[in-house]
Amino acid sequence: MNETTWRIYGIRHAINANRTRGQNYILDPDPGAPLVLDFYCWVLVSDDRAIMVDTGMDPQVAARHGHTPLLSPVAALAALGLEAAQIDTVLLTHAHYDHLGYLDAFPNAQFYMQAEEMAYITGPFMARPWFRRAYETAEILKLVSLLHAGRLHLHGRERQVADGVSLHWVGGHTAGQEIVRVRTARGWVVLASDALHYYEEYERGIPFAIVYSSADMIAGHDVIRALADSDDHVLPGHDPRLALIYPQAESAGSEHVLRLDAEPAARG
């Protein structure tokens, strides 16, 4: 039986160039030092199928939070020869606003998310500003609408999505944060999304500052290690280093679309 391998395109849809270490790390010794935050969503492409992973960020929401949009996921898909309306599967790694923009651009898609994330974003912790601060109420209501329309599928901790693509709960950043394991031509890659914002968390065993459970977040590093072929097969969700070590996707013709299934240069 032929095993499906996938190409992974990383779409750098936004940036926050004014971010500091203190906004990213708890008790950082150098809190005023700059640490750029890039924002990614992803598309997995096999010979006969494309799967979207997260959907970017609404530009108005981005502006409100001081982030600068770079490339809409819809435009990035078009540059790759794909139409958003033709995408039939969208995986949502968690429901923060920088992962849930453009939901309406995928009218023919089925959406997949951890049941635990849905319980979290409609449960008692959302009464507390610390926990709800990266969620947009209007986007949560859209998820409820998709659920009631039979288009949002809420799954348990592990779910196979396609041959060579599976979802795994890690929690930590949010109650229902999940990671995506992808078979590529160079082996198993883990798309960590916000289970790792930066490589630094993984390298130093430290949590990101926006956190539901720091214990689960750090335990998640071991899950990532167990599922990826090596540390050079791990992709954080927000690290500017990605654009330095992975090549541009030639076919897309944009510096904001990377080939994340390629061999990375040294992580530096």
Determine if 58 is a binding residue for Zn ion (CB under 5 A): no
Q: How far is the CB of 77 from Zn ion (least distance, A)?
A: 19
Total chain residues near Zn ion (CB under 5 A) = 2
Phi, psi (degrees; rounded to nearest 5) at 69: -65, 140
Task: Compute the distance between CA of residue 177 and CA of residue 169 in angstroms, rounded to an integer.
Answer: 6
Q: How far is the CB of 255 from Zn ion (least distance, A)?
A: 20
Q: Which of 60, 1, 59, 13 is nearest to 38 (CA)?
A: 13
Select the span of 8-16, 24-32, 148-156, 189-197 touching Zn ion (CB under 5 A): 189-197
Q: How far is the CB of 149 from Zn ion (least distance, A)?
A: 25
Q: How far is the CB of 99 from Zn ion (least distance, A)?
A: 6
- Tokens read off for 81: 């020869």
Binder to Zn ion among 38, 54, 58, 98 (CB under 5 A)?
98
Q: How far is the CB of 19 from Zn ion (least distance, A)?
A: 12
> Residue 263 gets which letter from DSSP?
P
Judged by DSSP in three states, 159 sits in strand
Q: Closer CB to Zn ion, residue 194 or residue 201?
A: 194
Select the span of 2-10, 90-98, 180-188, 204-212 touching Zn ion (CB under 5 A): 90-98
Q: Closer CB to Zn ion, residue 134 or residue 147?
A: 134
Q: How far is the CB of 93 from Zn ion (least distance, A)?
A: 8
Q: Closer CB to Zn ion, residue 65 or residue 155?
A: 65
Q: Closer CB to Zn ion, residue 112 or residue 208?
A: 208
Order of strands across the sheet with 178-184?
158-162, 165-169, 178-184, 187-193, 234-236
Proportion of the chain in helix, strand, coil states, percent, rounded to 5:
30, 25, 45
Q: Which of 69, 34, 77 is nearest to 53 (CA)?
A: 77
- Tokens read off for 188: 């198993």
Binder to Zn ion among 194, 201, 216, 261 (CB under 5 A)?
194
Task: Compute the distance between CA of residue 214 and CA of residue 211 in angstroms, rounded to an integer.
Answer: 6
Can you give the binding site for Zn ion, defined by CB under 5 A? 98, 194
